[in-house]
Each structure stands twice: as C-alpha cells, then as structure tokens.
Amino acid sequence: MLSGKTVIVGVTGGIAAYKSVSLVGELKKQGANVHVVMTENAAEFVTPLTFEVRSGNRCIKDMFERNFEYDVKHISLAKAADLIIVAPATANFIAKAAHGIADDMLSTLVLAAKCPKLVAPAMNTAMYENPATQANIKRIKEYGFKVIEPVKGLLACGDEGKGKMPEPDELLQHVLLEIAHEKDMKGLSVLVTAGATQEPIDPVRYITNHSSGKMGFAIAHAAALRGAAVTLISGSAALATPLGVHRIDIRTAAEMHRETTTAAPDADILIKAAAVADFTPVATSDSKIKKKDEVSMSLPLKPTKDILKEIGLNKKEGQIICGFAMETEDLIENAKKKLQAKNLDMICANSLRDEGAGFAGDTNIVTLITKDSVRELGCLSKLDTAHRILDAALDLRKAFEK
C-alpha cells in the first residue's frame, strides 16, 4: 500500500528504539522506500547497521558526515519524504520540535520538512505527564504534528503507567491512514454494517451464523484510508477496529436495526455487509432451558425487521445504498431480486459455493450489480474488493450529481 512512497523513520534515544526496527520492516513490506535518521543517543540502543540492513538505505545520524554522495542531506530528504514518523520520540525531541530547535540531523530535517509528521512519544510516565511535556505536545499538535498516544504498561524503569510506545503494527496503521491512499472520499460520511447478529434463546444459547465480519471491516478500513468519516456497526466479529473508524457494537438484529436506522439519515453511502438473522425466538428464557429426556423440542421463531429494505425504501436524495447477497443458488437472479425489492443502488453478490468466497477467508469473489450493469470483480483480497465496491459507489454518486 506504500509503493512509490518515501517514509523517514526518526529514531531518538529510548528503549522502544528496538521496536522501530520492526516498524522499518513493516514499512518495507508495504513497498515504501524507508530512510532511518537516528540521534546519537538512539545509536546507544540500536546500531545504525541494524536499521541499514532492515531499510536497505544508509542510516543517517551525523549532520556533517563526509564519506557519501554530496548533497545537503537534511534538505534533500525533507523534500523527498512523503511522511516522517519519529518513533520513539523522547521528551527532549518533542521539546526541540515545539521550539524550533534544530541542533542535529533529525531535528533539522523535521524542521525543514513540509510533509505529514507523526510523533510517537515514549518515556517514563512522570516525564510524559510533566506539564512541560504536555505543553510541548499541545504545541506540536498546533504546528500540525499528529501525536500517537503512548499506551499504558510496564515501563523500562520498572514503573507501571502511560508512556509505552504502541506496537509497530499500530504505528504502521497510522502511517497507512496518512498516506496509503488518495483522500478521494474526504467529506463523505460512510456507514458500514458487519458481522453476525446473535439472537438469544436463553442466557447460554443463541442463534447466529458463520459471518466473520471481515468483508465489512475491510470496507470500513478502505473508506477510512480514503478519508471518509466512517461509522461501523458491528455484530459479533473477533476483529480489531480499523484505525480512524467509529465502531458501534451491537448483538441482536433489533439492536442492529435501532443503531442503523438512527445513523442512516446522516450517511452519504451505506454499505450493509452484516449477516442479520432473519428470525429471532418469540421469547427469550431468563433461565437456562433444561433438557427433558426423550422429548423433542421446537423453538417458535418470529421474523426480524429487514433493515436494508426499510432504509432503501426511505432513502434520502443522493444517498447511495449498497447491500450484500450471499447465495447458494441462482446468484445473479436472486441478487437482482433483492436489489429491486429493497430499492438499492447496488448489490454485491457472492456465492457460498465459490472457492475463494465466503465467510472466514481473506479473499472474496463478488459480482457488483446495479440497475443497469453486472460486473464480476474476480477473486480479490477482501481489502481490494472493498476498494472496488467504494469505487463503484463513488461512480454512482457522481452519476447522480450530474
């Protein structure tokens, strides 16, 4: 997701510097050209050679180093950078950035660069909470730096509290959110539903389905990467909330109905990937239902409300509504019927019979159906499928605006 991007990782003198080695590896895996700039103190924790091996580029530490190609390095790197992330950032680095001090390569480069700048403070809790550090953090935020909050945990000094640098994968997510994608959905509000609902039978049992939530979460993630304001209403799904996404957890189809119909009027684009139960028990027992030997049991069920249909029939002008159809037979025909019956702009049809499609996997095979087109996307990762769905939703919006 970062091919063609140049990322500078600034490393200052803290024990968390070892985690930045993995961050560099993760950025490389995403295709970024990574340059590491260290302070003298950082080199006490991790050697420049480690970063050079990981980044494949010379690690820069000394302002006045002589033995490599001649250019004004702090300026050329500042110009080349698509993003700078300083991780870990000491209290001293933050203080310098807050006051425009440029007394080494990293602080000089940061002052010279105009690209987005992320800072991940990592220090002892007392240092972090010190009013001077807090004032400096406030100030750098005002200057446009994005500050990645440290997390709570056992610190190197033995204290327990806030001050730990988040794990490399979380830092990577911040980088991706900034520069992985063109912000072509900025200003749009996107509502996504995902995961399986659970209909309780008694305090122990419930009716549900196999939905993992992966497709809906991928759509929410992709929309956030593209700059949309994203709300994700999620049923049961053992997945981390994508960065930049506002998540509302629900359990039952009735809760999904309540939250979705409340949020729907404010959405420009609605994508309903959730697997909502079509039936729920007529009554939920307060106590565990005991088995009775040799007596068969039947469970009376009543239909739930069709949320998508209700939203489709009450659609606001200009709103784009997209549903999903998971079928085992007559995929296109059944999906087209749902498109029409629920008054949708688009439906994403996928067949449970196709290898590479379905609930738990990381790929999907979707056919995008609108009122006048049927387009097969082929087997793609769920994130790529999500981007294609959003592309199509944007095209429908543009067609409407014309």
Q: Catalytic positions, please?
A: 157
Q: How far, in Å, are 45, 122, 181 from residue 39 at the CA level?
A: 10, 15, 30
CA 10/CA 315 separation, integer angstroms: 49
CB of 25 or CB of 361, closer to ligand CTP: 361
Nearest CB to ligand CTP, comparing residues 178 and 268: 268
User: Can you tell me which of 7, 177, 325, 383 binds ligand CTP, judged by CB under 6 A?
Assistant: 325
Residue 276 as a binder of ligand CTP (CB under 6 A): the answer is yes
Question: What tokens does 304 get?
Answer: 């739930």
Q: Under the criterion CB under 6 A, does residue 281 sit at the interface with ligand CTP?
A: no
How many of the chain's residues bind ligand CTP (CB under 6 A)?
Answer: 14
Decide: is 323 part of the binding site for ligand CTP (CB under 6 A). Answer: yes
Q: Are 224 and 194 in contact (CB under 8 A)?
A: no
Q: Does 278 bind ligand CTP (CB under 6 A)?
A: yes
324 touching ligand CTP, by CB under 6 A = yes
Verify binding: residue 274, ligand CTP, rule CB under 6 A.
Answer: yes
Q: Least separation, in Å, of the C-beta of 242 and ligand CTP?
A: 19
State the pairing for strand pair 229-234/363-370: unpaired
DSSP letters, 270-283, are: EEE--B--SEEESS
**Minimum distance from residue 274 beta carbon to ligand CTP (Å):** 5
Q: What is the DSSP letter of 79?
A: H
Q: Of 51, 113, 84, whose CA–CA distance to 174 is shortest? A: 84
Cβ at position 175, least distance to ligand CTP in Å: 32
Q: What is the DSSP string of 375-391?
A: EEEEEEEHHHHHHHHHH
Q: What are phi and psi of 351, to 5 degrees?
A: -105, 130
User: Over the range 391-402, which residues count as b (16 or more CB within 10 Å of their CB) and which as e?
Assistant: ebbbebbeeeee
Q: Which stretch binds ligand CTP (CB under 6 A): 52-60, 67-75, 262-270, 274-282?
A: 274-282
Residue among 8, 307, 365, 368 that touches ligand CTP (CB under 6 A)? 307
| Beta strand segments in 48-91, E | 83-89
**Taking CB under 6 A as the criterion, which residues in 153-182 touch ligand CTP?**
none
Figure out which of the listed residues 8, 16, 77, 253 binds ligand CTP, where binding follows CB under 6 A: 253
Identity of the residue, 181 or 388, whose beta carbon is nearer to ligand CTP in the bound complex: 388
Cα gap 280→254, rounded to integer Å: 9
Among 73, 272, 382, 387, binds ligand CTP (CB under 6 A): 272
**Of positions 221, 338, 382, 387, contacts ligand CTP by CB under 6 A:** 338
Interface contacts to ligand CTP, rule CB under 6 A: 253, 272, 274, 276, 278, 304, 306-308, 323-326, 338
